[in-house]
Amino acid sequence: AAFPTAPEGTKRILLTHNPEILRSQAIPEAVLILAGHLHGAQCILWRTAHGSLFPGNVLYRFCTERKELPGKSTLIVSRGLGDCLPIRINCPKEIVEITIT
Cα atoms in the Cβ-side hemisphere of radius 13 Å centred on 64 = 18
Binning pLDDT at 50, 70 and 90, where does residue 3 land? low
Does the structure show a pLDDT above 80 at 18?
A: yes
Sign of CA dihedral 93, 52, 87, 90: negative
Lowest mean pLDDT among 9-13, 20-24, 25-29, 54-58: 25-29
- Predicted local confidence at residue 14, as pLDDT: 87
Q: What is the pLDDT of residues 33-86, one digit of tens each?
A: 998 777 666 889 999 998 899 998 898 888 888 988 877 889 999 888 877 666
Q: Where are the beta strands (DSSP E) in 1-101?
A: 13-16, 32-35, 46-47, 53-54, 66-69, 73-77
The torsion angles phi and psi of 32, rounded to 5 degrees, stand at -140, 135
